[in-house]
Structure 1
Amino acid sequence: MQTDIDPRSLIGRKVFDRDGAKIGTVDEVYLDDATGAPEWAAVRTGLFSRDAFVPLAPSSLVAEALRVPYERSLIRDAPDFGVGRHLSPEQELQLYHHYGLDLSSPPAPPPREDRSFGRIAGETE
């Protein structure tokens, strides 16, 4: 991770869509196998207690919340792989396609924030 933000500190943060509507809360953070950088957040939407995967690269931290540049409906329609398990390359590919992300371009830097928060949460697999 190229920032001083501990990926575990994202867990429990509220998540808002591009229009400022609350989507849910970060339940787990998934790291890139090759770089160890945070790549996906599993967001508990509250809708039937479902977690939706959201890419972290184009997202930003504002105050104590995660702002993602997608509409709520797109996030809620994301493929459901369940949480607590490793994402396979095929599942990641499905998520990249769902969000219209270009796999040929280099990934954007991880989210940054203006302040540091001390919340520590357990690691995910």
Structure 2
Amino acid sequence: MQTDIDPRNLIGRKAFDRKGTKIGTVDEVYLDDATGIPEWAAIRMGLFSRDAFVPLEPSELVEGALRVPFDRALIKEAPDFGVGRHLSPEQELQLYHHYGLDIAPPPPPDREFGKIAGKEEA
């Protein structure tokens, strides 16, 4: 998704699945803890329904609506963590697995960590 979009501008937009079926309305946007980039949207799936989390990458903002490249049924079955609270790394991992998305492995440890600059190893 475009990373230059203000996440506040997503709230209230209609959301559609990959077939063009309306899913609901964007209720909340969750930012990545490390980067501050919008990562998840909570979609209100009906007047009395719960919110379902959808990944903003690879979703797209098309003609003012959020297009999510997954079927409505899969979105409806997403793990329910409640809204208004922080998503833990474990919860995010569950969501990534639910949607069949690969996540990048953590970067390798910095081999230079703890060394003093300019010092040669003996």
TM-score where L is the length of structure 1: 0.80
Between 1 and 2, higher relative CO (CA 8 Å, sep ≥ 6) is seen in 1
Match of 2:49 in 1: 49
Deviations 1:75-109 (A, max 9, x none): 0000000000000111001000000010137xxxx
For 2:73 and 2:99, the matched residues in 1 are separated by: 12
For 1:4 and 1:96, the matched residues in 2 are separated by: 22
- Among all aligned residue pairs of Structure 1 and Structure 2, give the percentage whose two residues are the same amino acid: 82
Deviations 1:5-50 (A, max 9, x none): 2111000000000000000000000000000000000000017421
The one-letter code sitting in structure 1 at the alignment partner of 2:102 is: D
Point out 4+ residue stretches in structure 1 off by more than 4 angstroms: none
Distance verdict in 2 for CA 1:39–1:17, change over 3 Å? same
Match of 1:38 in 2: 38
For 1:73 and 1:48, the matched residues in 2 are separated by: 17
The structure with the largest alpha-carbon Rg is 2
TM-score where L is the length of structure 2: 0.81
For 2:89 and 2:98, the matched residues in 1 are separated by: 14
Aligned residues: 106
